A and B are shown apart, each in its own frame.
Chain A
Amino acid sequence: NAGVTQTPKFHILKIGQSMTLQCTQDMNHNYMYWYRQDPGMGLKLIYYSVGAGITDKGEVPNGYNVSRSTTEDFPLRLELAAPSQTSVYFCASSYELYPYGYTFGSGTRLTVV
C-alpha cells in the first residue's frame, strides 16, 4: 500500500514562476487536504476536497489553486510564486466513515527564491 504519495520531495522555485505539487492516494479516500507548515509553526489548511469535482478553500488559499478530477489525485497549483510561499506542503486524505483517520504524505519542501 503506497498510501499518500507526494512529488516532488524538494523543489526550489524562482519568484514569479509557477508549479504544481502532485498528490495521489490509493486508498479510495474521498476526503483530501492540502496543508502548509511554515518554520516552527503548525499546519494550516490551504484547500480541501470532499470528493471528485468538489473543492473548497481553507484558511490560507491565496496564491493557490486546486482541482479534483479523480478520487485519487489532488494537485496543488502555485501561480506566480512569492517568497511567502516558502514552506513545507503536506497532502492528506481520509475516509468519510472514519474522518479522524488521516493519512499524511511525507511532504514537499518548497523554497521560493
Chain B
Amino acid sequence: AQTVTQSQPEMSVQEAETVTLSCTYDTSENNYYLFWYKQPPSRQMILVIRQEAYKQQNATENRFSVNFQKAAKSFSLKISDSQLGDTAMYFCAFMKLGDSSYKLIFGSGTRLLVRP
C-alpha cells in the first residue's frame, strides 16, 4: 500500500521570502502522479501543481516549483516570493496509474503561515 508522509506540521515564512515544504512517499509502483493541493481557510481544495513520475523535469507553476527525486521518493514544494494569500494548509498527494480507481492518497498536511 502507498503512504504519503509530511513531516512538517507547521511552517512559517516572512512575506516575499522562499519556503520549502517536504513530502516523502512510499510505493513500489513505477507509474504515478504526485500533487500538491492548497486548502485555504475557505476549505476549498485547490490544485497547486502536478508531477508525472515518468518526467524527469521538475514541474513549475509561476511561483511554485517542485523538487522531484524519484529514487529517494521525495517531492518537495518550493514557494518563492511568498504572499499573504499563500497562508493555507498544503497537502501532498499520490495517485497510482493503472489502478481503475484513480484515487488520491493524501499526507497529513503542513500548515503554512506567511507573516507580513
Chain A contacts to B: CB under 8 angstroms: 31, 33, 35, 40-45, 48, 50, 56, 58, 88, 90, 92, 94, 99-100, 102, 104, 106-107
A-B contacts, 21 of them at CB < 8 A, read A31-B102, A33-B104, A35-B104, A40-B109, A42-B93, A42-B106, A43-B91, A43-B104, A44-B106, A48-B101, A50-B101, A56-B101, A92-B45, A100-B33, A100-B35, A100-B95, A100-B102, A102-B45, A102-B104, A104-B45, A106-B43
Q: Distance (Å) between the CB of A90 and the closest chain B CB?
A: 7
Asked whether A42 lies within 8 Å of B109 as measured between CB atoms, the reply is: yes
- Interface membership of B11, Cβ < 8 A: no
Could you tell me if B43 and A99 are in contact, using CB atoms closer than 8 angstroms? no
For B1-32 the 0/1 string (1 means CB < 8 A from A) is 00010100100000000000000000000000
